[in-house]
Amino acid sequence: MKFASSTVPLCFLLFFGHCFFGILLPSAGQIFAAESAVAKSEDEQRLDTIRYGTETEIAALIQTLKSERTSALQSKSENTLDDALIAVTQTTRNQNILSGVLSFFGDRDKKGLEQRAIKAIEEREDEANETVMAAIDYLGKVKAADALEPLEKLLDAQEQGFMGSAFRALGRVASGGSAQDKDDTAAYLMDFYTNRNPPDISRRDIILALGETGSQAGVSLLIEIAENNQERGGLRMVALEGLAKIGDSSGLDAILQALSSTDPNVRSTAVSALGPFSGKSVDDAILESFRDSYYRTRIGAASAAGTRKLTEAIPYLQYRAERDEVPSVRDEAIKALGAIGTAEAQAILERLFVERKHPNRIRIRAAEMLLLNNPEAYTEKVIIELDDAKKTNQTSLYNGFLGALSEAKTKKVEDLVRRFLNSGGVIEKSYALDMILRNELRSLAPEVRPLMTDEKNTGLARKARNTLEHFGLE
């Protein structure tokens, strides 16, 4: 169709043009909305989820935050997110949100929810049982001093569903208090055990809590139970563990006596409990326990030898590391050699690491100890073995050495880190960021920046951004 310019009304042309371009171009409101969505950072979007999201959305966010913290790298926004989560708990009674936030904070020993948790206990008739349980566990993990009385009142009510968790939390809370708090809590627990006829399952929880308090006032009852051969093995075991936690010398004879028990679990617990004590009788008992046919007793002996840095145990530990039929015993023996850390122990660890005839698991554990004790001397050697493992397609060995190197405290990993950042896979780059953080390798910031724009691996991009934030870099 043709129009003569002199005959087409101007208003028609304006109308036609507005409709035509309106089809092609978004409105100002659409442009503003799109820009607002793009402008919001990930942290701002997370804050919106906390403020306005459903329980499912908040639970998913908490799970994401938990997984991010496995790198031990905190974002600068963490406190802001925590404050927002605290604010949500003050007004909501949604059990999934409350339980999730309490668990998230408790796993990090993060304070800030003590009063809300106490309120959940005191007003438990208005709360879901899951919320009350999460509140009890949280108060124990953060050792909230104000929780002693509310927890005792909860136990006095003897609501069976809460008692086990409440006893354990009470012991933990007391352990973080004053000497008077510890003694008063121990007295309360012993009275409950002796005079209120608790069921068997509660008796175990009471004895466990008594050891947690760390009060010497509870030693006499723990000794009585540990020495009683007619008592159930499980109760004797927690009594022995309690004596070890308190560490009072008056409990040593009961522990030594338990080493002769016919119950292998009691024996293994007793030898593990020797760690805090000293003297020739203790040393002899540990060495003798390496001969026990029950593998957990040998694990306990290795653990105690490492705790005490018992050099006399080195040949026993070498034998166990090389020949024990149980992998977990070998692991504990290697760890003990690392804890002892003498030249002799280090030489044994080096042989376990270098000799390729040894199983991968043994070589990896030995590398971990060598890098822990002397990273400057062993980092380059482990990198050589790491590269050989990759060349020979030994994936489990490669990953094990990689994990060990990520924990090494030395600048000697810098070249390896640079190589990973430039040509490594996602896992290698993630480990590289861990090594940068652990060793303050600020000079590698230019290599880290490109990772921030990796759209295919948002987790890695976030970790790279947080790494730079940690160093105060944009």
What pLDDT is stored for residue 275 in this prediction? 85
CA angle 360, 364, 369 (to 5 degrees): 150
pTM metric for this prediction? 0.79
Residue 458 CA to residue 460 CA, distance in Å, equals: 5
Phi-psi region of 112 (alpha: psi -120 to 50; beta: other; left: phi over 0): left
232-267 per-residue burial string, b: 16 or more CB within 10 A, e: under 16: eebbbbbbbbbbbbbebeebbebbbebbebebeebb
269 in Cβ contact with 240 (< 8 Å): yes
Q: What DSSP character marks residue 5?
A: T
Phi, psi of 318 (to 5 degrees): -60, -45
Name 217's Cβ contacts closer than 8 Å, sequence gap at least 6.
182, 183, 186, 187, 190
CA distance 321 to 306: 13
Contact 297, 289 (CB under 8 A): yes
Q: How far apart are the first and last CA of the chain?
A: 59
Percentages (nearest 5) of helix, strand, coil residues in the chain: 80, 0, 20
Query: DSSP state, 27?
Result: -
Count Cα atoms within 13 angstroms, Cβ side, for 198: 23
Amino acid identity, residue 444? L
Find out whether 174 and 210 touch, Cβ atoms under 8 Å.
Answer: no
- The pLDDT assigned to 472 comes to 83
pLDDT in tens, the chain (474 residues): 444 444 445 444 444 454 444 444 444 444 444 444 445 677 788 899 988 988 889 888 888 887 776 444 455 567 788 899 999 888 888 888 899 999 999 999 999 999 999 999 999 999 999 999 999 999 999 999 999 999 999 999 999 999 999 999 999 999 999 999 999 999 999 999 999 999 988 999 999 999 999 999 999 999 999 999 999 999 999 999 999 999 999 999 999 999 999 999 999 999 999 988 999 999 999 999 999 999 999 999 999 999 999 999 999 999 999 999 999 999 999 999 999 999 999 999 999 999 999 999 999 999 999 999 999 999 999 999 999 999 999 999 999 999 999 999 999 999 999 999 999 999 999 999 999 999 999 999 999 999 988 778 888 998 998 899 888 876
- How many whole angstroms separate alpha carbon 88 and alpha carbon 50? 7
Q: Which tokens go with 275?
A: 């760690």
Specify the residue for token string 């397609």: 393
